[in-house]
Structure formats: C-alpha cells, structure tokens
Structure 1
C-alpha cells in the first residue's frame, strides 16, 4: 500500500512538471540558505565549547572606558588568588602577547607568541601530539608549537628536541628547545585573542628574555590576561570579597577608585566579547535565515494549495472508485512530503557546492557535513516532515472532505478557495523581501561610507611592515638609519618608524594627560602614539599649529609632545595655537612636557567610535617601535614593492618582509560590516528569487483558471495590454500593501542598527523608494512574460470546451 502511495505521488509530480519544479527549486533554495547559515551559527557556538564551565576570564570595568582595557586585568591577580585562596581556585593561567622574529636556518617569520604559565596545557583541554602536557612548559627555555608550525619550520610534526631561534627586543637572539607539539587548535578565546592567532607558546620565565619581567608581578600593571578555574561548587560571586581585599592591599587608591574586576565564563566569552558582536551576528543571520525559509515554505504551501484545487475532479473519481477519505489524506500528504524530501536533497547538494563561497563571504570556514554530530541528521528529517505536512494539510483535510458529486463538477460547495489566505501569505513574502532588500542597500551604503569618508590622513599607496626590534638607544639610532636608507629610494616618498599604525589597535593604553598647573584628577585620557618626526609626512596628517617634533636634520627635543585637536579642546584650548608651549604632564611620566604641535583630528581607530584625544611621543623619548611605514610614489606599484623588498633583504637579511597595504589593514576594522553586507546581498538575491518564483506559480495558476474569462473579455473588445494589466493589478495591490507594512519595520530596525556607529549615513527615503520600484518592476515583468501569450491567443481557443 505504501509503495502505491509513492508511485501515485511520483506520477503526479511528473504530470505537473512546471509546478513540481518551481515548488522543489524554490523550497530547496530556502533550505540551502538555512543550512549554510545554520552551519555558520553552529560553528560560532562551538568556540570554547571544549573548555570547562568552571574556567573564567577576569575582566576589568573602568570608571571611564578609555582608562584601560576591558579584556585584561591586574597582572598578579590570578596568581595571588590561587596562592591566598586555594579553597576557591583550582588553577590559574595568565599570559602576555607579543610578536617577534623566529628563525630556523634560512627560514625567518614574524610570529605571534603567547608567553604564560604552564597551566595553558592542562586547563583548556588542548590535545598534545608529542610531549607531556604537565611538563612541556615547565622550563624557562622551553617552547610548545602547533603541528602547523612544526610543518612550517621542519616539514614534519615529530620535532620535540629541535630548537627555534627567537629574537629579543634588545636585538639579541636565543635558541629555545621545542618540548611539545599541540594538535592544531580549534578557534577559541584563549589562543585566538584580539584578532590574532597564537600558535607558539613559551613559559612566563621568557618575560625576562624579552625585558618585560618587571611588569609580570606589578600590581600597577592592569594589562595582563588572567584566567582562573574555580573549585567545584564555587560561584564567581564568592570571589568578590577576595578580589576586593587583594586590590585594597596591593593597589593604589587611584586604581581602587576606578577599577572593578569581574568574571566571565570562557564558554560564553566569545559571544560576549567586543560588545557581543558575535552574538549580534548570530541573531541577525538567524533572523534572516528564518524569514528566507518562511518565504520558501509560504511558496511551497501556496503552490500546493493552488495546484490541489485543480485536482477536485481527480478526488471525485477516486471517491467513486472506492477511495476512503483516509486514503486521500495519506495520498496528498505523501506527495507533499515527497516534494519536501526532494527539495532537501537538492538543498544538500547546493550546500556542498556553495560552502566554499559562503566561507569566503563570512570570512570564516563553514563546517563540512561530516563535522556535525550524528544526531543532527534527525533535525532536517523533522523539518522535511513538518513542511510536507503543512503544505499538504489543505488538500488532505479540506478537499478530501468534499462530496463525490461536487468534486466531479469541480466545485467547492462548503469551502471557498482561500484567496485571501493565499494573498496574505504572498504579502508576508513581499514584506520579507522588501525589508531584506532595503537592509542590504542601507548596509552597503554604510560600509561604503566607511571606505569613502575622509579619515584625516592619506591611506593611498601606504604599506607597513614589522621590523626587527632593538629597543635600546643604539637600536633606535639603527632603525632611524634604516628609515633614511629607505626614504632615499626614488620609489619612496617618505618613511616613518612607529610603535602604532592607524589599525585601531593601540599598543599602549590610554594615558592621563593634564595641565602641569592642575592635579591629575582634572586630566583627560589620551591614546599615545610613539613615532618619529616623519609620521605626519608619511601619512599626510595636517598640522594646524606648531611643529611635529623637529624638522628633518635637526635635533629632536624629546621634552615636547604633539596632541590632536580633540585633546587640545578637552584640555581647555579652543584655539590650537594657544596650546603651543604650554606645560603638560602625563601620569606615570616623571618629567614635565611641553606641547610642541597640534595635528588635525584623524581616525586612528575605526569609525564605530568618536575620535578620541591623542598624544604623540617621540620614539627617542620612549624607545619602542614595531613598524616601518612607507609612502610609495605613484607608478608601477608591483615594481615599487619588488624594489622595496630587495632593499629590505639587503638591510634586514634575517627578517621577513611581510608587508601589508594600509587599505587592507583598514578593511579589517570593518570585517563584521563586510560580512553582514555580503550576507544581506546573498539573502536579497535569494529572497527575490523565491518571491518571483512564487509570483510565477500563482500567476500561472490564476491564468489557468481564468482562460475563459480572458476569452470573453477579448470578444468584448479588451486589448492584449488590458488583459495583461488585469493580472498585474492583482499583484500591484499586494506589493503596495507589503510596502506599507515593510517600510516602518525596515526604518525602525535599520535606524536602531545605525545608532551603534558614531559616524553614520542619514537614513533617507531613497532605499525605500528604490526597492518599491524595483520589486514592482520585477513582478510586472514576470507576470507580463507569463500572461502575454494568453493575452495574444485567439479567444476562440479559450471559449472552446
């Protein structure tokens, strides 16, 4: 019997090829999009999933957000809690992050290094391929790497006992022994920190090698990443008193007054970090995917209902031949479920083919089918069954209830054809498509605004590269000599040495800047940039008062600093010239300073936030540096870069030339917006395709039912265009109603989204009117193409029985 149901269902699908194709294809596209977005969301939820729920990261809440970093905490805090409160803490892990040059033979790479306590290998569940997790990081000269790094340097993974040469910040080098190899790490919030990925790990004793040991146990250092693992049964609130006691005992009144430490479970940290950007992305994509699937289901139901009404005579014949109502119900539900199953199979194929494309769109690898748990196989089957039943309910339960005589006559005696219901479903589709389309235009416009706005400096033809570090006075002189060598090249317009570049990541936290005549409580928090006198020339940052340190060839007065307009105004100088020569102080800097210049405001970070106060130190006063930036002259860019690379190899034979164009650096600041932009564009295409498929199918059904009406109208003198307009008018009203509903929804949603940006576009009427016209035109074209043949046919054909 079951086989007979499937056989009949298959025959009906083949008999109605057009409707079957539209139904299957439309639903499969919606299902495929949901599969892709669902896979992305599942991948995001797996971040930190393997970490114990008793592991927490210690975060800082400052009285003013620009007083410090949120994701770091007091350097000795985790260690002190473990030593003083062993009844509360099982273990702790703290680390710093840095980058330097690592070499093996003739291989030289700039690598990110995470140096911290040995508990890294035992607290977070990372798997070792070689070495002992309990002892691998127990010695000062040990280093643990991932299998990717092992292959990169040695071409194999069994490399325990081999050595890597690591550069210190004073220009010295030392060999470190590899004591362990980790299995490649899944994305997590411990080693994928702050947008960078660390795959090389060292003992915290290496702080001394890098000259940073003084900060390791300094209570005035709030810039260390600390994790703690609580004892079973201990709650985060149980540590409040202990943390407050340690802060009162060891920190200054200023820190006690402005800092509150709190705990975030590592399992949930990824979704909460960066103001919950990952969670917002998940919600946004889930919302879009849900409505795309809803549109596809509406199409499926609409077409199934419309097509089923044409089968009334078939129902009557089956009843006359002895079919029971139960058999008819099973038959219709079987056909519907079979259609849904075919759609899912095609959706699965679309997912397999499109996964690499959507991975590039989202900027993250979307999991393969084989990476999902086995129990996930139940979910799509349930969805297939649910969609099939929803679409088959109307013909199964309503049409099967009609009497044999009414069915044979093709009439619905007790139930009118649900035109209003079907039109309501179409309006829901239109509303969804309109909202998604408008959102795509607005998001695209906001993203373009980021890249087209004046940033306050010239980013064109600027490349940056990390340099070998030697933070001694001799090292500063050497790097300045190298800078001059590069600047003398005909391909280079200017070059500068700095610790920071405009990438939104300040290497130094904000400093309290205040007038020398006032106390620190009247100061402002200003981001410091350490650079040489060529910084503004390379980046073309306008100077509006004074000098940017000394001119080239003159001595540098390191007692002077330069500030931006915002800093000058915040300190009370509305006229930038009034700031020149004024004595100022920076907290924790023992020497007084003088304002030597004021630069025009520029976007050092992203346009998400307002421009903050900035102060410039000269690199000779604070001898730390990371970057050489080059302003290249116009011309053949490939040749210019190649010549620069050749010069680099001559000047820095043991350092890689890993350059980045500043445009690409800036683009990373808006990675989330670019992901949303690409996802919304893909969703718009899919939404419009689903809507137009639905319009096509409903128009086809409508034409099939009104052939005689068309014939009569033509006999009475109606023109072909009047006939076409007859069908367009039906959908024109639906499009109008959909716009009236969609516009307020889109406006409130997008206006709320835009308020998250300090610098944003104005939400005007253009996107709304454009979408309305485009959608109306597309619907009109689809209907016109479908109806024109019927409108031009001889009316005799339509009226002939």
Structure 2
C-alpha cells in the first residue's frame, strides 16, 4: 500500500514537472529560511545556559524626584552583608571592570589584556569557572595575586607554565600568577581574561551603601524563592544605608524617600541577563528578547507563506485532477483512500523540500553567519532532539499543508465531475483568494517593519550627539603616559598632548577620564540655598582645557576651563543638570560634592549643551565635568582630532610620539564613531536580517503567485484566444488577468498597515529618541508589494496575451 502511494505521488509530480518544481522550490525555500532563522534564535537563547539556575545579579532601580534609572552597579557592601544576614543567600561575588585595558610588564615585553576585571574569589564558583591549574580557594587570597584565562596565559607566556610568573604593573607594583582557568564560553554576558582580587583596592575595603561601585551576584540555596527574598531587601537596605544617606543629605532616610527618592533592588536570573537586561552599566552589548520573538514569528510566517503556496497550488490544480478523482470513485475508491493518496503526495513533497532546505541552509550558513555577526553552525544545531523535532515538523507540515486539498478534492461528486460543474467552484476560488491575501498581508507587514527599522537606525546614526565623532581617534590607555617612576607628574600628560597637537594632520587633542560609550562614575551634589536637603546624583567626567573644544561641544553659558584661571575647584555642568537643579543663572553658583568622607565645594563656571554619553535608548543624564587635576580627576583616554584624509600618516606620527613617552607600552587606539555604532549593534544586525528574511518571504510569495497565475491563465486560455480574435489588445487582456490579483494585494495592504503600525509604535518605545512612525513607510510597503505582484503576474499575463489565438482555439 505504502509503495503504491509513493509511486502514485511520483507519477503525479512527473505529470506536471514545472508545476511540481515551483511547489517544491517554494516550500524548500520557505523551510530553509525558517531553519536559518532558527539557527539565529537557538544561538541567542543559548547564552549562559551553562550557568546555575539559582544565581542572580542584583540590579538597582534608582528613583530620583523626576526620573528613574536602572543600574547594574550597586554599593559593594551589600553582597557580603547579605550572606551574613540571610541564610537563603549561599554565596556572593562582586566584580568591577575598568574602562581601560590592563598593561603588564614581563621581562622585556609589554603585555595587554582587554578583558580585565577586579573581583572576589567567590566569582569562580558562582560563575561556573573551571580551574586548570591552581586552587580556587587560595587563588585570590593575596593582594598581589592574579588569575589568567588559558588563552591569556598562552598569549603572555607561550608554552611556558604561567604559574608563579611575576608581572609588573604600570604603578610600579607586581602581581603573581596563582592560577589558570579555562577560557570562558563566548555565549555569556560576562567575559574575562585576567582577574585580580577586589580586596587589593583600598576603596573596596571601605563601607559603601549608597555609591554605585560593583556588579554583585548572589547564589541562593536550593529551594529558596527569589520573589520572597526580594521582598526582604527594602528593610535590609534601610537598616544599613540610612546612616550614610542621612549623613550625605542631612535628612532622615524616611524623609529622603518621601522626597521622591528610592532604592528598589531586584534580582535578575543570570540566564536571562543577555536577552532581557538593557540597563546602565552592562558589560557588553546584549542581545534582545524582542528580536528573538520577532524573528521566531517571522520564521513561522515565512513557513506559513510557503505552506499557503502549496495549498493554493494544490487546490488550483484540483480542477485538473477532478476527472482522476471521479474515475477512481467510479472504480470503487473510498474517500479514505483518496485522502491517504493526496496526503502522501503532500508529505512526499514536504520531505523532498526539507532535504533541499537542509542543503540550502548548509551552503548559505557562512554568508548568513557573517551577516548576523554570529558564530552559527547547522551541524551544531542538528542535535538528536532537534533532528527529531525537525522530522516531526516536516511530517506535520506535509500533512497540514495537504489536509485541506486532500479533503477538498476527495469530496468531489463523480456525477458533478462528469458534468463539468467543478470548473467554477466558488469554494476553491474563495480559499485561494483568502490565502493570497494572507500571504501578502504578512509580506507587506514584513516590508513595513524592515523600512521602519532602517528609518530608526538611520535616525540614530545621524542624530546630532552634541559632539563631533567623525575622525576622532581615541588613545585608550592614556593613563600610561604618567606611569614613569622617574617622573610621575601631571605635566607629562600636558606635554604629550601638546606634542600630538603639533603634528601635521592633527586638528587638536585633549585628555579625559572617559569618553562616550564608557561607564561613568557617579557624582553626588547638593546646592546650598536651593533644595539644600535634596541631593542630585549626576554622572562625572574629568577633562582638560582643550577637551570640550576638541570634541566641538557647545558652551551655552559661561566659559570653558582655562589656564588663565585656577579651575581646580571649578565645574562645568550640562543643560540637564541646570534644569534639574532649577538654576536660572548658574554661573558662579556653588555646588557641594558629597562623598563618604568629605564635602567639597565647587563653583559652576560654564554650561555645556547636552551630549549623549550613552545610546539613544536612554535619555541624557545630568553631567558634571571637573577640571583635570582636581581631587576627583584622573586621566584615562586621549581624544585626537584628525584633520584631512591622511589618517594612516597621522596614526604613524602619533605612534612615534607615543613610543618616545611610553616605550614599554603598546600604542592602542580606536575610532570613536566606530565604537559608538556598537550601541546599536543589535538593531543594525536585526535590520540586515529583516531585509534578508523579508526578501526571501517576498520571493516565496511570488513563487506561489507565479504558479497560481500560470494555472489561472491556463484555465482562461480559450477566453484569451476569443478576446484576441474579437480585437482585444494585449494591454486589455493583461489588465483583465491581473486586476483580480491586484485587488487582493490592495486588501492585504489595508489589513497589514494597522498591524505594522501597532508593532512599530511598540518597538519605538524602546528608544528615548525615535524618528516616529511615518505613513510614507506603509505607502512604500503597499506600493512595493503591488509592483512586485504586478511584475510577477504580468510576466505570465503578457506571455498569454501575445500567444497565437489559433493555438488555444484549434481544438474547438
């Protein structure tokens, strides 16, 4: 019986080879597209899957009187105290990742490590880090210890054993390699190449309950409810933080909270961070669960379009197969046998299509991986569970795609067939029209989404940021300039900057503690006489006299820092800080910086226009700029403005100057505009993928439309012949054959627009600054779909209209 079904299926496919090829190709392309999307989705959802289920990161929703900000960094005293006070907290680990790269000296070599962190030894257990050499219990006990990853150890020492090796640090100290650990998996929100102990930094040995300092992870005991534990945190914070907050603000903790402030700590499951967390201070650009959902839905829709093609073509061809069904019924075939036959044909087509889809996916995975910027592999995806799922899915697709045609065709009455009453079946025509509308509704929605994503990306990349980012080179280990044991002074920073600025092709140079894209430290200020009992938490950077000018930042009021003034206790504020503090005339106003041990009074000398230090997902925060050389300042990076197109010559000149100042440290730099694009890496990648998938969805839909129009035209070939004999023009015949399809596309456009608008409005809520939803997007999407459909149908229509009418009428 099974053999007969297969033979019958093959015979049916051979009878109409072009029709069968269109059917198989459309379904295969839809399956391949769906499978390719699944490779991407599987990659994204597998991040941190190796982590423990009971590990959480503590994040903070910091409430200010007029705004809220979520931070990954929290006070470093919280973690250890949680372990002491709550039996459900089994362990904790804190770490901090500096903005700059780590530089070490070994013998006559200078070594650098980008993924350098400062952390607790408990991080090895909580973050599931595998030890190759050394003891996790003692690896970070001593202040001068350092733990290296396997690849970092190999980079530093080659094939030599790294244990016991002494590395010199820029400050003249040294650290000893005490352990080697396995390279951390790439699929994680966390990464490191070297770790030194947190307790080796004096600041982290001090009590801190209000300043943002470390990322903190906790491991709960088995069976502990994270929601119940979260409810205990507010009372815990009040118990330990109220003294420090009262000291800083001069009012009680309850009064401070009543004034509109708040510390809402919450737990983030470690396995959810990569896709779900997008808050201030993330270690690296995360993925986005929204895009995982979008692409999963897109995969289902594209596969649905391919299945619709099959159903459309099968029901369209049912007229041709009507006599076959009638004869089989007359000869005694039962409906079940006919259903089985047609289902076997559809399943057979699905299996063939699946094999072709796997081949297409395998051959194209390299190009797709490059487009997505991900390490994707079909062979890695084809695990035993996934293979079983794929086989079952293919069988289900084959059965579902052929279910309606099977029952539709097998239900024909033999008498009606013999009388020829099925050629105008409204049931079949109505179903085909509905499926065409559904196909192009999905296609138009995808086109609209793609255009909206590209509009927003174009807006984000072109929106003025408050500074010039083009041709700006950043020397990222600028602190090394002053790491000369024989001459450690601030003048070296200035001398280096002046020599760089005097080079050909250099328009200017400045140095600073941080640049856009870096994690900024907090700066708590109070203003005497205005909201004296209120404090404002701002961001802070330090800058020299030339930094703002070099970045082309606009001074709105007052002045820039200048060598003509003693600006060690002067600050420049941004426009948002001015508004938050309620200043009408800020120049000359005093603000007090509050920290754990002292209060320092600064004078406002200038107001700079708002500039974006973070991505446009978030609003501009209050900013304080201190003069380089003040108590709160430190040099981290140089910003060099290149003048002209000879960038390589400028870089070579800068490297030569660098070599004279810091002969033992590598010259490391990056271009600021390229760095800032990483803010929108997820959106840019998604835009490229959406374009590719939308194009494939349209191709799949057009394959079906091509086959369907060819079939419909074949059914009307005698009518076309008669019209031509009676004087009908080619244009009138093409219009006649195309108008019904174009009506369906128009209906699809009207249905797709509201759905696409709703999605776009929701998606743009993720950005503090957006281009908005333009109605032109939907016009372009609808017109584009109409043109594509018109070209597809017109190809067949024109061919039919230009055919010799004798060929279609000679058998009458």
Q: Over the residues paired in the alignment, what is the CA RMSD in angstroms?
A: 2.7
Distance in structure 2 (CA, Å) of the matches to 1:166 and 1:309: 84
Distance in structure 1 (CA, Å) of the matches to 2:772 and 2:127: 46
Matched with 2:512 is 498
Distance in structure 2 (CA, Å) of the matches to 1:35 and 1:643: 50
Deviations 1:300-336 (A, max 9, x none): 2212222233222233444556655433322221221
- Residue 269, structure 1, aligned to residue 276, structure 2: no
Distance in structure 2 (CA, Å) of the matches to 1:476 and 1:794: 91
Question: Shift in Å at residue 725 of structure 1?
Answer: 0.7
Moved more, 516-525 or 608-617: 516-525
Moved more, 730-739 or 288-297: 288-297
Q: SS in structure 1 opposite 2:521?
A: coil
Matched with 2:628 is 619
Asked whether the equivalents of residues 57 and 263 of structure 1 are also in contact (C-alpha less than 8 Å), the reply is yes
Q: Which residue, 152, 165, 168 being the options, matches 2:167?
A: 165
The aligned runs of 1:466-485 (5 Å cut-off) are 466-467=476-477, 469=479, 474-485=488-499
CA 135–20 in structure 1, closer or farther in 2 if over 3 Å, else same: farther
Q: Which residue, 194, 205, 224 being the options, matches 1:234?
A: 224
Matched with 1:771 is 781
Question: Shift in Å at residue 790 of structure 1?
Answer: 1.4
Matched with 1:207 is 201
The aligned runs of 1:187-266 (5 Å cut-off) are 187-189=187-189, 192=190, 197-208=191-202, 212-215=203-206, 217-236=207-226, 237-238=228-229, 240-241=231-232, 244-245=235-236, 247-249=238-240, 251-252=242-243, 254=245, 257=257, 258-266=262-270
Q: SS in structure 2 opposite 1:612?
A: coil
The aligned runs of 1:102-121 (5 Å cut-off) are 102-104=104-106, 105-121=108-124
Asked whether the equivalents of residues 61 and 68 of structure 2 are also in contact (C-alpha less than 8 Å), the reply is no
Question: Shift in Å at residue 66 of structure 1?
Answer: 6.7
CA 583–140 in structure 1, closer or farther in 2 if over 3 Å, else same: closer
Distance in structure 1 (CA, Å) of the matches to 2:455 and 2:232: 49
Matched with 1:397 is 407
Question: Shift in Å at residue 531 of structure 1?
Answer: 1.1
Distance in structure 1 (CA, Å) of the matches to 2:658 and 2:438: 61
Asked whether the equivalents of residues 512 and 526 of structure 1 are also in contact (C-alpha less than 8 Å), the reply is yes
Distance in structure 2 (CA, Å) of the matches to 1:438 and 1:393: 32
The aligned runs of 1:10-29 (5 Å cut-off) are 10-29=10-29
Q: Which residue, 102, 116, 131 being the options, matches 1:100?
A: 102
CA 378–469 in structure 1, closer or farther in 2 if over 3 Å, else same: same
Matched with 1:549 is 561
Asked whether the equivalents of residues 147 and 178 of structure 2 are also in contact (C-alpha less than 8 Å), the reply is yes
Question: Shift in Å at residue 420 of structure 1?
Answer: 1.0
- Residue 507, structure 1, aligned to residue 509, structure 2: no
Distance in structure 2 (CA, Å) of the matches to 1:67 and 1:513: 17
CA 528–178 in structure 1, closer or farther in 2 if over 3 Å, else same: same
Deviations 1:516-571 (A, max 9, x none): 323543443332121111111211112233221114xx464211111122322333
Asked whether the equivalents of residues 316 and 708 of structure 2 are also in contact (C-alpha less than 8 Å), the reply is yes
Matched with 1:444 is 454
Question: Shift in Å at residue 758 of structure 1?
Answer: 2.6
Deviations 1:211-269 (A, max 9, x none): x4444x43344422222222222223246447734641455363854323232322333
Distance in structure 1 (CA, Å) of the matches to 2:697 and 2:586: 57
Q: Which residue, 551, 557, 574 being the options, matches 1:539?
A: 551
Asked whether the equivalents of residues 326 and 417 of structure 2 are also in contact (C-alpha less than 8 Å), the reply is yes
Distance in structure 1 (CA, Å) of the matches to 2:748 and 2:162: 66
Asked whether the equivalents of residues 516 and 592 of structure 1 are also in contact (C-alpha less than 8 Å), the reply is no
Moved more, 333-342 or 640-649: 640-649
Matched with 1:583 is 590
- Runs of 5+ unmatched residues, structure 1: none
Question: Shift in Å at residue 166 of structure 1?
Answer: 5.0
Asked whether the equivalents of residues 476 and 670 of structure 2 are also in contact (C-alpha less than 8 Å), the reply is no
Question: Shift in Å at residue 408 of structure 1?
Answer: 5.6
- Residue 326, structure 1, aligned to residue 336, structure 2: yes
Distance in structure 2 (CA, Å) of the matches to 1:279 and 1:94: 26
Q: SS in structure 1 opposite 2:533?
A: helix
CA 268–758 in structure 1, closer or farther in 2 if over 3 Å, else same: closer
Moved more, 282-291 or 61-70: 61-70
Give me the TM-score of the superposition, normalised by structure 2.
0.90
Q: SS in structure 1 opposite 2:115?
A: strand
Distance in structure 2 (CA, Å) of the matches to 1:134 and 1:525: 38
Q: SS in structure 1 opposite 2:369?
A: helix
Distance in structure 2 (CA, Å) of the matches to 1:173 and 1:417: 85
Q: SS in structure 2 opposite 1:418?
A: helix
Question: Shift in Å at residue 398 of structure 1?
Answer: 2.8
Matched with 1:692 is 702
Asked whether the equivalents of residues 102 and 111 of structure 1 are also in contact (C-alpha less than 8 Å), the reply is no
Matched with 1:176 is 176
Question: Shift in Å at residue 733 of structure 1?
Answer: 0.8
CA 349–453 in structure 1, closer or farther in 2 if over 3 Å, else same: same
Question: Shift in Å at residue 591 of structure 1?
Answer: 2.3
CA 410–5 in structure 1, closer or farther in 2 if over 3 Å, else same: farther
Asked whether the equivalents of residues 23 and 300 of structure 1 are also in contact (C-alpha less than 8 Å), the reply is yes
Distance in structure 2 (CA, Å) of the matches to 1:55 and 1:600: 42
Deviations 1:256-310 (A, max 9, x none): 5432323232233333311696222212222222222221221122122222332
Distance in structure 2 (CA, Å) of the matches to 1:110 and 1:492: 29
Matched with 2:300 is 290
CA 131–573 in structure 1, closer or farther in 2 if over 3 Å, else same: closer
Deviations 1:60-87 (A, max 9, x none): 22222978762222212221222344x3
- Residue 636, structure 1, aligned to residue 646, structure 2: yes
Q: SS in structure 2 opposite 1:48?
A: coil
Question: Shift in Å at residue 731 of structure 1?
Answer: 0.9
Matched with 1:80 is 81
Asked whether the equivalents of residues 607 and 757 of structure 1 are also in contact (C-alpha less than 8 Å), the reply is yes
Distance in structure 2 (CA, Å) of the matches to 1:506 and 1:116: 17
Asked whether the equivalents of residues 443 and 677 of structure 1 are also in contact (C-alpha less than 8 Å), the reply is yes
Aligned length: 780
Distance in structure 1 (CA, Å) of the matches to 2:346 and 2:420: 21
Distance in structure 1 (CA, Å) of the matches to 2:528 and 2:541: 20
Question: Shift in Å at residue 497 of structure 1?
Answer: 0.9
Question: Shift in Å at residue 350 of structure 1?
Answer: 2.3
Q: SS in structure 2 opposite 1:580?
A: coil
Moved more, 624-633 or 33-42: 33-42
Question: Shift in Å at residue 740 of structure 1?
Answer: 1.2
Matched with 2:34 is 34
Asked whether the equivalents of residues 560 and 596 of structure 1 are also in contact (C-alpha less than 8 Å), the reply is yes
- Runs of 5+ unmatched residues, structure 2: 247-252, 280-285
Distance in structure 2 (CA, Å) of the matches to 1:12 and 1:406: 23
Distance in structure 1 (CA, Å) of the matches to 2:543 and 2:664: 24
Question: Shift in Å at residue 132 of structure 1?
Answer: 4.1
Matched with 2:750 is 740
Asked whether the equivalents of residues 468 and 655 of structure 1 are also in contact (C-alpha less than 8 Å), the reply is no
Question: Shift in Å at residue 396 of structure 1?
Answer: 2.4
Asked whether the equivalents of residues 508 and 642 of structure 2 are also in contact (C-alpha less than 8 Å), the reply is yes
Distance in structure 2 (CA, Å) of the matches to 1:180 and 1:713: 84
Question: Shift in Å at residue 447 of structure 1?
Answer: 0.8
CA 370–756 in structure 1, closer or farther in 2 if over 3 Å, else same: closer
